[in-house]
Amino acid sequence: MAVTAARASTPVWAVIPAAGSGTRMQSETPKQYHRFQGKTVIEHTLDRLLGHPAVDGAVVVLAEDDPTWEQLDYRPDKPLFTATGGMQRQHSVYSGLTTLQYRFGNEAIALVHDAVRPLVTHQDLSRVIQAAQRHPAGAILAAPLTDTLKLENYNMEIASTLSRERLWRAFTPQVFHLLPLLNALKRVIDDGLQITDDAQAIELLGYAPKLVAASVDNLKITSPGDLRLAEMIWLNQRDQQNNE
């Protein structure tokens, strides 16, 4: 698979897998539909992505039996399509990508972003999009590890201390040229491989996506405590923007 850098005019589309149930939220409501500051998490996420001038539109990938999405009646100023997700994240992202390919062909950049990361900044979006446009294997937002790492034994005791040198926490968005990511995820699905993010699929084909240092504000909401923290960060971001 040969990949080349994208032209600056290549459209950038957000692909947002939102088919998960989010059991760690201790609620029957999927985590993307919990609310803060008058909107659901996924609406905040879409506002943030579609509000960026480089993002042309979005594909939201929903569970087949999702009862909530249509009730939101979310109507952005940019194009928004939906697709049906699958059993695992790679199936959902693949579904979103095929929807994008059907409508726009292979000449697109896919910005894959967690539905429950509503706080990504426009500065970080600009930097990761620009990096992916220049880098043939794409780019992801990430943060270098700063905590000391401990390996446990089977008695929940410290077995050893691990080096954190050159280790990063992977965030989203993860931004790739459409066709390479489609091919990479198809291989993962066909071979029954287990991956934890989209960059890993690209890595399995022998390519090395670019790391782009990101703000730690880019919180992933997975628990009730995260929701309260997200609201605090959101308010702080709003106040900073108002003071600029």
Interval 96-108: pLDDT, tens: 999 999 998 999 9
* Per-residue model confidence (pLDDT) at position 240: 86
Residues near 92 by beta carbon (within 8 Å), at least 6 away in sequence: 17, 18, 19, 61, 85, 86
Statement: residue 3 has pLDDT above 80? no
> What 3-state class would DSSP assign to 159?
strand
Q: Which two tokens stand for residue 186?
A: 């198809």
Task: Answer yes or no: is pLDDT of 66 > 90.
Answer: yes
Total domains, the chain: 1
238: left (phi over 0), alpha (psi -120 to 50) or beta: alpha
More confident residue, 9 or 21: 9
Q: Within a domain: residue 4?
A: no
pLDDT digits (tens, 9 = 90+) for 128-155: 999 999 999 999 999 999 999 999 999 9
Tell me what pLDDT residue 1 has: 46
Q: Which helix (H) or strand (E) holds 142?
A: strand 139-144
Q: With respect to residue 56, please indicate whether it lies within any of the assigned structural domains.
A: yes
CB 99 within 8 A of CB 59: yes
What backbone phi and psi angles, to 5 degrees, belong to 89? -55, -45
What does the pLDDT look like over 180-208, one tens digit per residue? 999 999 999 999 999 999 999 999 999 99
Contact 101, 178 (CB under 8 A): yes
Residue at 160 is within a domain: yes
Q: Is 229 exposed, middle or buried (0-12, 13-18, 19+ CB in 10 A)?
A: middle
Domain-embedded: residue 218: yes
Question: Do the domain assignments include residue 7?
Answer: no
d(CA 216, CA 231): 15
Q: Examine residue 67 and state whether it is found in any structural domain, yes or no.
A: yes
pLDDT at 63: 94
CB 63, CB 19: distance < 8 Å: yes
User: What is the end-to-end Cα distance of the chain in Å, rounded?
Assistant: 45
Average confidence (pLDDT) over 81-97: 96
Q: What is the CATH number of the domain that holds 79?
A: 3.90.550.10
Task: Determine the average pLDDT of the residues in 22-40.
Answer: 83
User: Tokens 């943030």 sit at which residue?
Assistant: 48
Instruction: Please give the Cα distance from 157 to 170 (Å, whole number).
Output: 27
Residue 6 counted as domain residue:
no
Alpha helices in 146-221, H assignment, sequence order: 178-190, 198-204
DSSP strand pairing (158-162 vs 149-152) = antiparallel
Whole-number pLDDT of residue 28: 81
Does some domain include residue 3?
A: no
Domain of 29 in residue numbering reads as 12-243
